[in-house]
Structure 1
Amino acid sequence: MEELVAILDEDNRVIRSVPRSVMRRDNLRHAATGVVVRNPSGDIYVHRRTPTKDVYPGRYDFAAGGVVAAGEDPFDAVVRELEEELGIAGVELTRLPEGDYADDRTTYHAYLYTCVWDGEVRHQPEEVEWGGWMSPADLVARLDDPDWSFMPDTVGLLGAYVRGLQVTVSEGWDSDAWVEGPWLYRSPRRAAVRPRLLAEATLLPWLAPQLPLPIPVPSLTDDGVRHLLLPGQPFAGGCRETGRQLGAFLKALHAVDVDEAVAHGALDAATAAAEKAVVLDEFRTQVVPLLPVEVRGAAEALLGRVARVRTSLVHADFGPDHILMSDGQLTGVIDWTDAEIGDPALDLAWALSCEGVAETYQPSPELRERAQDWAWLSPWYGVHRGLLLDLPNDVETGLREIVATIGGTRGHLPV
């Protein structure tokens, strides 16, 4: 009997099932899968489709996948298609952002993944005519070469992912990071960071399936953690839809079970509050005395308002440096070392400045007010760090920002 395919509405709900030939004939919206396969050196497996395929025969492709059958779970379809097409089984799959594709030949919602495979690749003769490994740079060059005819849907859905794999990693304040093949390695630079970095290996694998955007899924190494490299560059501005995605991401993050998050490695509320109290006390003793007398009362009041609410799992450093984009698409949220049970307003302090975030998050007035407090607190960290590292220009700049945000004068500030 001919294979039945699940047909989707615009909200990706199954509305009926039809034979595959009918789906192709009428170009009906369905579900499909795609997996980018990489080896330990970071190369990507590229293959050429047989000339008998029912759509885009004979074209090159850099993802294994296919149509989701009626009644089939999409993840099961990912596993099935990967084994059928390339003979790859028992591999860990890392989720990439889902996507939609439509042209005059095919229309579908895509469930996308990547994996690392160091074994034999066995082609399904009916599906694959040729295959081989290419470095990301070589593959990008082929994508730009008109003599190489690639699947337009794979390019549309995963082209940005491939192009975003070319990244530069440098030293950070908390950890060193470097790339080997498809893996990003991180090791702590300070002893105090080590427990939080290692906790990512238990927290993030539990958290990742609950979030609508990819996050790292680390495993332990001898001196830290490693995870598959998420592509992209730091957030440089987006559209309303991008903001809506960020709002949906934060709403999902803040709704996870707090007790389970702590059990999987998140910093508990009491410990997080104690650590925050130390920082706030240093702000009072080191920063407030540097402010003009007329704004010190407002500064003390701000310090008294923050960190009183601890209700949700928060990223705690949610900003453009830790949100990745490629070709205008969000590709992931990184750097979870500070994740703790805290105030969801902290994650919204920067995010609410992005158009569309409030539409999907729908913060209450009280949450908006607390987010503003956290935003006003941002330059305090710059002053604190400047004092610690003897950076007088950073201190003076931060003090001026503090005065401006809490309504004081912009006059000369002693340093």
Structure 2
Amino acid sequence: MDELVALLDDNNRVVGSAPRSVMRRDNLRHSATGVVVRNSAGDIYVHRRTPTKDVYPSRYDFAAGGVVAAGEEPFHAVVRELEEELGIAGVELTRLPEGDYADENTRYHAYLYTCMWDGPVRHQPEEVAWGAWMSPAELVAKFDEWEFMPDTVGLLGSYVRNLTIGEGWDSHAWAEGPWLHRAPRRPEIWPRLLAEVTLLPWLAPQLPLPVPAPELTVDGVRHLMLPGEPLTGGDVEAGRALGAFLKALHSVDPTEAVVYGALDAATATAAKTAELEEFRQQIVPLLPAEVQDQAGQLLDRVAQVRTSLIHCDFGPEHILTVDGRITGIIDWTDAVIGDPALDLCWPLNGAPEAVRTGVLEVYRPTPDLVERSKDWARLSPWYGVHRGLRLDLADEVRNGLREIRDRL
């Protein structure tokens, strides 16, 4: 049906109506709605429009909404569109600032909201082709990779980007005076946050660079903020400092580390074995036949070594610096008895050459350790493919498989 749409003047007053087809044809100014749907973990529901939509077909979107019909109150349109598009009803809607958008395809005044929903999502088949929950950080990363609705990004992109401040895969974070607070995003993260309260105070005196000293709060942990910004670039001196830090970390007593809260080797091995088995069953068959044996051998090799306390997520985003000087190492949620080569993966295979040189000079890894760090680098794209298969992201799977093949 060619529904009647309310038309607006430049002061957002209703001045008449027109059939939807005419509104689109002449790009007449109208009003529309948008709702960002989040769950209690902080994720945002992202969907892809069907190819039959009359504007921006097959684009990705992170707001449910549509045009306001003639004679319809904007809030009623918000409620209607949310239920029609995603099957969500009976939720409390929180108003966001209104906005205006205009391009060669559409011109409208937007009534914007957000809501929280942990129930099932039911797509309207005529409008939604695919959907999945994504963290704000994951969504923002996709802004440059996927074709999104330009109006949604223009109107709500800054709102989503602001949500990424303090958002991690494992925990929410927020500042309060000199303190940084963290609360788990998922129940299974609680034990790991609690472990930091005992592990890091024991570990800190044994390390040449500062680490947080968390203490327990009602909803998580907090620690005094370390100064600095994530590492960008880096010179030989930075590499030497990282080499000394990793050498000290990997030399602590692993048995004592477990007593103070590090994830023990048996538990970590069980979790890693299950993950690698999923890689073996789901990803290896998708690779070209000529590299499948190499892929299986890679999975075998990375499963073998559990000898040292490791950071387990050692990359530039967790290395703080001020004026090129390293001021601290953060985010210890994944600390585990594992393969020290995993901590060396980025310093030896992804860092600037000057940083790599400094790390090698001080750490002096064995040839076997260097080769295993390359194995961990080869494994990196497998995680993206695994996620793409889980969320039915065909482009991510295809590009990841190509990268796996090239690295093998």
Fold conserved between structures, TM > 0.5? yes
Matches within 5 A, 1:391-410: 391-406=393-408
Residue 346 of structure 1 and its aligned partner are, at CA, apart by 0.8
Match of 2:330 in 1: 334
Gaps of 5+ in 1: 1-167, 407-415
Question: Equivalents in 2 of 1:286, 1:382: separation in Å?
Answer: 13
1:363 maps to which of 362, 365, 368? 365
Letter in 1 for 2:341: A
Report the equivalent of 2:72. none
Instruction: Provide the residue aligned with 1:298 in structure 2.
Output: 294
Q: What is the match of residue 82 of structure 1? A: none
Contact 1:244–1:360 under 8 Å retained in 2: yes
Deviations 1:223-257 (A, max 9, x none): 11110111222111100110011000000000001
TM-score normalized with structure 2 length: 0.57
Moved more, 349-358 or 263-272: 349-358
Displacement of 1:326 in angstroms is 2.0
Cα distance in 2, alignment partners of residues 355 and 397 from structure 1: 31
Q: Which residue number in structure 1 is paired with residue 29 of structure 2? A: none
Secondary structure of the residue aligned to 2:209 is: coil
The correspondence for 2:199, drawn from 175, 184, 203, is 203
What is the deviation of 1:391?
3.1
SS of aligned partner of 2:222: strand
How far, CA to CA, are the matches of 1:393 and 1:355 in structure 2? Answer: 36
Deviation at 1:296, TM superposition (A): 1.1
SS at match of 1:331: strand
Shift, 1:197, TM fit? 1.4
2:311 to 315, 318, 328: 315
Q: Which amino acid aligns with 1:327?
A: D
Cα distance in structure 2, aligned partners of 1:323 and 1:368? 21
Which amino acid is 2:311 matched to? H
> Structure 1, residues 181-234: CA drift from partner, whole Å, max 9, x if none?
111111111112111111111101110111111111101111111101112221
Deviations 1:11-47 (A, max 9, x none): xxxxxxxxxxxxxxxxxxxxxxxxxxxxxxxxxxxxx
Q: Which residue does 1:156 correspond to in 2?
A: none
**Following TM superposition, by how much is the alpha carbon of 1:401 offset from its aligned partner in structure 2, in angstroms?**
1.4
- Paired residues of 1:307 and 1:342 also in contact (CA < 8 A): no
Whether 1:263 and 2:259 are equivalent positions in the alignment is yes
Partner of 1:379: 381
Match of 1:230 among 226, 231, 235: 226
State how far apart, in whole Å, the 1-side matches of 2:169 and 2:271 are: 18
CA distance in 2, matches of 1:389, 1:331: 38
Say if 1:232 and 1:394 are closer, same or farther in 2 by CA, change over 3 A. farther
Three-state SS of the structure 1 residue aligned to 2:233 is: coil
Q: Counterparts of 1:338 and 1:272 in 2: how far apart (Å)?
A: 10
Q: Structure 1: how far apart are the matches of 2:208 and 2:387?
A: 34
Alignment of 1:279-290 (within 5 A): 279-290=275-286
In the other structure, the counterpart of 2:63 is none
How much has 1:265 moved relative to structure 2? 0.2
What is the aligned counterpart of 2:339 among 322, 340, 343?
343
Question: Which has the higher mean CA deviation after the structures are superposed, 174-183 or 385-394?
Answer: 385-394
Cα–Cα, structure 1 residues 221 and 390, in superposed 2: closer, same or farther, change >3 Å?
Answer: farther
Note the alpha carbon deviations across 1:250-291, whole angstroms, 9 max, x for none: 000000011110000000111111111011011111211221
Counterparts of 1:81-96 in structure 2, within 5 Å, are: none
Aligned residues: 239
- Cα deviation for residue 320 of structure 1 reads 1.1
Distance (whole Å) between structure 2 residues aligned to residue 190 and residue 388 of structure 1 = 18
CA contact 1:196–1:337 (8 Å) conserved in 2: yes
- TM-score (normalised: structure 1): 0.56
2:211 match: 215
Q: Which residue of 1 aligns with 2:348?
A: 352
Residue 46 of structure 1 corresponds to which residue in structure 2?
none
In the alignment, the residues of structure 1 paired with residue 168 and residue 204 of structure 2 have an alpha-carbon distance, to the nearest angstrom, of 23
Q: Distance in 1 between matches of 2:400 and 2:316?
A: 19
> Contact between 1:254 and 1:314, CA under 8 Å: does it hold in 2?
yes
Alpha-carbon distance, 1:315 to partner: 0.5
Q: Which amino acid aligns with 1:292?
A: P
| Contact persistence 1:184–1:228 (CA under 8 A) | yes
For residue 391 of structure 2, what is the aligned residue in structure 1?
Answer: 389
1:266–1:341 CA contact under 8 A, matched in 2: yes
SS of the residue corresponding to residue 318 of structure 1 reads coil
Deviations 1:329-348 (A, max 9, x none): 11111111110001111111
Shift of 1:322: 1.0
By how many angstroms is 1:386 displaced? 2.4
SS in 2 for 1:356: helix
1:38-57 equivalences in 2 (<5 Å): none
1:301 maps to amino acid = Q
Aligned with 2:183: secondary structure?
strand
Matching residue's letter, 1:234: P
**Matched residue, 1:243:** 239
Q: Which whole-Å CA distance do the structure 2 matches of 1:270 and 1:401 have between them?
A: 31
